[in-house]
Amino acid sequence: MAKPKIATTSLAGCFGCHMSLLDIDERILELVELVEFDKSPVDDIKNFTGRCAIGLVEGGCCNEHNVDVLREFRRHCDILISVGDCATMGGIPALRNTVPLRECLDEAFVNGPSVHNPDGKYPDDPEIPLILDKVYPAHEVVKIDYFLPGCPPTADTLWEALVALLNDKPVELPYQLVKYD
Partner 1 sequence: MAEILEEAAIREICQAHDCNRARLLDIARAVHKKCGYISGHAMNLIADELSTHRVEVESLVSFYSFLSDKPRGRIVIRLCNDIIDQMNGAQLVGRAFSEELGIDFGRTASDGAITLEHTACIGMCDQAPAALINDVVVTNLSSDKAREIVRELRQHTDPQRLVKHLGDGNNAHELVNSMVQNNVRLPGPSIFSPVNRGEALRKALVMSPAEVIRAIKTARLRGRGGAGFPTGMKWEFARAAPGDRKFVFCNADEGEPGTFKDRAILTERADRVFAGMTIAGYAIGASEGILYLRGEYAYLRPFLEHVLQKRREDGLLGDDIFAAEREPAPPKPAGERDVHRRPGTAGRRPFSFDIRIQMGAGAYVCGEETALINSCEGMRGDPRNRPPFPAQEGFLGCPTVVNNVETLCCAAKILEEGPATFNQYGSEQSSGTKLLSISGDCRRPGIYEVSFGIELSEVLEMCGARDAIAVQVGGASGEMVAPDQYDRTICFDDLCTGGAIMVFGPGRNVLEIARSFMDFFVEESCGYCTPCRVGNVLLRERLEKILDAKGEPADLEYLEALCRTIKTGSRCGLGQTSANPVLTTLKNFRKVYEVMVQEDREGLKRSFDLQRAVAEAEELCGRESIHNHV
**Where does this chain bind ligand SF4 (CB under 6 A)?**
13-14, 16-17, 58-59, 84-86, 91-92, 151-152
Tell me how far, at minimum, the Cβ of 16 lies from ligand SF4, in Å. 3
Query: What CA–CA distance (Å, rounded) separates 157 from 149?
Result: 9
What is the secondary structure of 125-137 as a DSSP string? Answer: -TTSPPEEEEEE-
- Is the peptide bond prior to 152 cis by the omega test (within 30 degrees of 0)? yes
- Tell me the C-alpha to C-alpha distance, in Å, between residue 120 and each of 81, 104, 106, 108, 109: 40, 14, 8, 11, 7
Contact between 141 and partner 1 by CB under 8 A: the answer reads yes
Find the shortest distance in angstroms from Cβ 16 to partner 1.
Answer: 25
The answer to whether 60 and 14 have CB atoms below 8 angstroms apart is no
CA dist., res. 35 & res. 124, Å (int): 41
The residue among 102 and 169 lying less far from partner 1, judged by its C-beta, is 102
Q: What gap in Å lies between CA 177 and CA 169, rounded to an integer?
A: 17
**Residue 3 interacts with, from ligand SF4, partner 1, none (CB under 5-8 Å by kind):** none
Q: Which is nearer to partner 1, 28 or 108 (CB)?
A: 108
The entry of ligand SF4, partner 1, none that residue 170 binds, CB within 5 to 8 Å by partner kind = none
CA 101 to chain centre: 22
* Window contacting partner 1 (CB under 8 A); options: 5-13, 38-46, 64-72, 90-98: 64-72
80 binds partner 1 (CB under 8 A): yes
Question: Which residues of the chain form contacts with partner 1 (CB under 8 A)?
Answer: 64, 67, 71, 74-75, 80, 101-102, 105, 122, 124, 126, 129-134, 136, 139-143
